[in-house]
Amino acid sequence: MKIKIISFALVISILMVGCNTIPQSTNNPNESTISVNGTGNASASPDLVDIQLGVDTVNTDPNAAVSQNSADMNDLMAVLEDMGIAATDIQTSNYNMWVEDIYGPDNQPSGEKRYHVNNQVNVRLRDLTKIGLLIGEATKAGASIVAGITFGLEDRTELEQAALDDAIDKAQEKAEWMASEMNLNLGSIVNVIEGGSFTPPMPYFAGIGGGDGESAVPISQGQVNMTSQVQVIFELLP
């Protein structure tokens, strides 16, 4: 009787082991794939611009140089405030003072010096119709530095997605052509690897528009361009 019980338990144990066996993968190790790269592009009109504005002052008296620079910068800041630019969109980007030795006709140091004071702010303007007016009014107020005009977008999400969609479409077109050249059919996507997105440098040019009034400077905003790259792996079918 004891032997029968042991035998029955052994049968149950074998059955349980059989039920817990992990099934083998059905993936075909010899499955054929093709890997292609795609580059996509997308464009959109900018909705903001960053501008470097500032004052560079030169004087043989260092105190006078600092004082005059501060007065001119206060005039510039008053212009920005009058145009409704928020304080959070104005940030000091550079302030420095340096000494220049003055040389005489014989190219020898004369002992005199000039003091340079440079103060710059980065201004973010969200109303692009005022960009020309801003530059014109800033220079009238004493700004001697206007540089680094960069157009951009508040939210680049949609532009990045559009560039990625274009990159995947380009990759699929390439893969379909390559598969047809090998007399094969293109299957489903196995994997997608994003290669990154970037915005090419965007130059600015004088052009039509840019603001109202006699002091307005003509500026063309153009478009913001986005480039994305992907690597897509497709299944190849006979």
pLDDT at position 9 is 38
Side-by-side strand order, sheet with 224-237: 33-44, 224-237, 185-198
The pLDDT of residue 218 = 80
d(CA 54, CA 34): 55
Name residues of the chain where pLDDT drops below 50.
Answer: 1-27, 29, 203-214
pLDDT tens digit sequence for 156-174? 999 999 999 999 999 999 9
Nearest residue to 175 via CA among 163, 184, 166: 184
Task: Give the global pTM.
Answer: 0.70
- For the chain, give every residue range classified as CATH 3.30.110.170: 29-45+156-237
pLDDT of 197 = 73
Return residue ranges of the chain for CATH 3.30.70.2970: 48-152
pLDDT digits (tens, 9 = 90+) for 206-222: 332 334 444 567 888 88
Position 148 scores a pLDDT of: 87
pLDDT of residue 109: 86
Residues paired with residue 47 on neighbouring β-strands, in sequence order = none
Fold entry, domain 29-45+156-237: Translation Initiation Factor IF3 (3.30.110)
Question: Within the chain, how many helices (H) and strands (E) appear?
Answer: 4, 7
CB-CB neighbours of 113 under 10 Å = 13
- Nearest C-alpha neighbor of 54 from the set 82, 38, 30, 75: 75
Q: What is the fold of 48-152? A: Alpha-Beta Plaits (3.30.70)
Say if residue 4 is exposed, middle or buried (CB neighbours under 10 Å; 0-12, 13-18, 19+): exposed
**Alpha-carbon gap, residue 175 to 168, rounded angstroms:** 10
State which H helix or E strand residue 175 sits in. Answer: helix 157-181
Structure tokens at 95: 């302030």
